[in-house]
């Protein structure tokens, strides 16, 4: 087949010269290539010029806005001070107006002059009966300008030969014991003085857990006198048995060490809210110190100063905890309160209408679930006080008003 015949066949198949591949001189001419360098050059020049303008102008605008801004903070929190005020670019440093612990500093400065050290020189005997002297130390608080001082009973207890008081101004004076009350672990001693610094008592009934608590005292003796420790009120109405008595105490995590006994526990207003008395000294337990509430301190101290002793209140009741009832009175059903197993004939409770078999559930406005709490509460009351008591009798809840009397000597 010659060339023309092959070409004809191609046309019949629809592959003519314009649609099929070009061969030889009849091929389509190549397109002319476009040049892009001018465009690239123009874009590059524009980017350079834009960058220069941004660098030169934008910072000036931003700085101008920054200079117009003012930082506002509460006046009580502090202030902002500017360094190099003549410079266009200013830097500021925050300067607090006061130390957040300043309230502690101020309270401690007010009360510390009234805190004293007490050294009790006691007479002791060895196993051979030979006498020797031993010094024990504690803390105290001046409560009158003429030298009355309150402290713990256990600080001045024992066969005391001499009690020495160390004042904040460096003087030492010998003190006499005015009176003591082992049931509340309180005592009053007296030095001869005038114009002595004193402390102000606050209202311990208004305390709340979490409130600031500051302890001041002489841990481990006079070498660390008037040490200040800080914490909070951890709990209220903690009833503990101290010796033979039950006491209702304030719990705090402010550090209280041996020698702090008798020193004040104060609040942020420099008011005495308690008298440091004890620390729970158990392995693996930390931050559990206890103080006698200031209202109780004030009442006991006033009575000691006036009469030299404390009169105990008496209701005329014999009581049992629920655990004892289950053992000794297994037929009695009791799921709350404490059980009255005896009422003194002719006593205050009997006169008010309380009977044997009643269950005491409330006394002096406090819920009662153990005998210790009842004893602690009545120890804070005085003969002649009228106190309300609620009891369960069968299905009834009854309320009585009991007029307390002075406890007989055998009941104290």
Could you list the active site residues? 154, 185, 261
Q: What are phi and psi for residue 352, nearest 5 degrees? A: -75, -20
Name the burial class of residue 337, with classes exposed (0-12), middle (13-18) and buried (19+) by CB atoms within 10 angstroms of its CB: buried
Q: Is there a contact between 228 and 108 (Cβ–Cβ < 8 Å)?
A: yes
Q: Is there a contact between 279 and 142 (Cβ–Cβ < 8 Å)?
A: no
Name the burial class of residue 197, with classes exposed (0-12), middle (13-18) and buried (19+) by CB atoms within 10 angstroms of its CB: middle
Round the CA-based radius of gyration of the chain to a whole number and report it. Answer: 44
Strands 271-279 and 200-201: parallel
- Residue 357, token pair as written in the block: 């078999």
135-to-68, 81, 147, 222, 277 alpha-carbon distances in Å: 71, 56, 22, 12, 19
Q: Which of 342, 317, 315 is nearest to 328 (CA)?
A: 342
Q: How far apart are CA 391 and CA 400, in angstroms?
A: 8
- Residue 92, token pair as written in the block: 């500021």
Q: How far apart are CA 110 and CA 101, in angstroms?
A: 15
Quickly count: other Cβ atoms within 10 Å of residue 262's Cβ: 32
Q: How far apart are CA 376 and CA 245, in angstroms?
A: 8
List, in order, residues 6 or more apart from 42 with CB less than 8 Å away. Answer: none
132: β partners? 124
Q: Which of 307, 262, 293 is nearest to 142 (CA)?
A: 262
Q: What are phi and psi for residue 19, nearest 5 degrees? A: -110, -25
């Amino acid at each position: 087949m010659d060339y023309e015949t092959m070409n004809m066949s191609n046309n019949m198949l629809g592959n003519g010269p314009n649609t099929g591949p070009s061969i030889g001189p009849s091929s389509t001419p190549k397109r002319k290539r476009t040049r892009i360098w001018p465009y690239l050059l123009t874009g590059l020049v524009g980017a350079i010029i834009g960058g220069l303008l941004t660098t030169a102008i934008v910072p000036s605008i931003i700085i101008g806005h920054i200079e117009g801004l003012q930082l506002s903070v509460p006046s009580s929190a502090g202030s902002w001070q500017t360094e190099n005020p003549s410079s266009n670019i200013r830097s500021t440093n925050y300067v607090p107006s006061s130390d957040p612990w300043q309230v502690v500093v101020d309270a401690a400065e007010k009360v510390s002059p009234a805190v004293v050290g007490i050294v009790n020189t006691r007479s002791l005997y060895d196993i051979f009966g030979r006498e020797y002297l031993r010094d024990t130390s504690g803390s105290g608080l001046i409560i009158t300008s003429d030298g009355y001082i309150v402290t713990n009973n256990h600080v001045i207890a024992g066969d005391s030969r001499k009690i020495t008081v160390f004042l904040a101004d460096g003087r030492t004076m010998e003190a006499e014991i005015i009176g003591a009350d082992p049931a509340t672990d309180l005592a009053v001693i007296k030095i001869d003085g005038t114009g002595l610094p004193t402390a102000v008592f606050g209202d311990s009934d208004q305390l709340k857990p979490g409130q600031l608590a500051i302890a001041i005292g002489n841990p481990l003796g006079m070498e660390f006198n008037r040490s200040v420790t800080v914490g909070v009120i951890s709990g209220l109405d903690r009833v503990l048995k101290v010796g033979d008595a039950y006491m209702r105490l304030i719990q705090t995590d402010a550090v209280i060490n041996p020698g702090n006994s008798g020193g004040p526990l104060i609040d942020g207003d420099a008011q005495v809210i308690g008298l440091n008395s004890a620390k729970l000294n158990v392995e693996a337990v930390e931050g559990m110190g206890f103080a006698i509430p200031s209202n109780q301190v004030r009442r006991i101290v006033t009575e000691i100063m006036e009469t030299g002793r404390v009169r105990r209140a008496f209701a005329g009741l014999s009581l049992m905890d629920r655990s004892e009832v289950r053992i000794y009175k297994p037929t009695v059903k009791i799921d709350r309160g404490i059980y009255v197993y005896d009422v003194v004939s002719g006593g205050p409770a009997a006169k008010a209408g309380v009977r044997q078999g009643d269950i005491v559930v409330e006394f002096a406005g406090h819920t009662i679930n153990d005998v210790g709490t009842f004893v602690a509460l009545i120890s804070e009351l005085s003969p002649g006080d009228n106190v309300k008591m609620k009891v369960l009798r069968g299905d009834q809840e009854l309320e009585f008003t009991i007029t307390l009397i002075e406890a007989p000597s055998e009941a104290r």
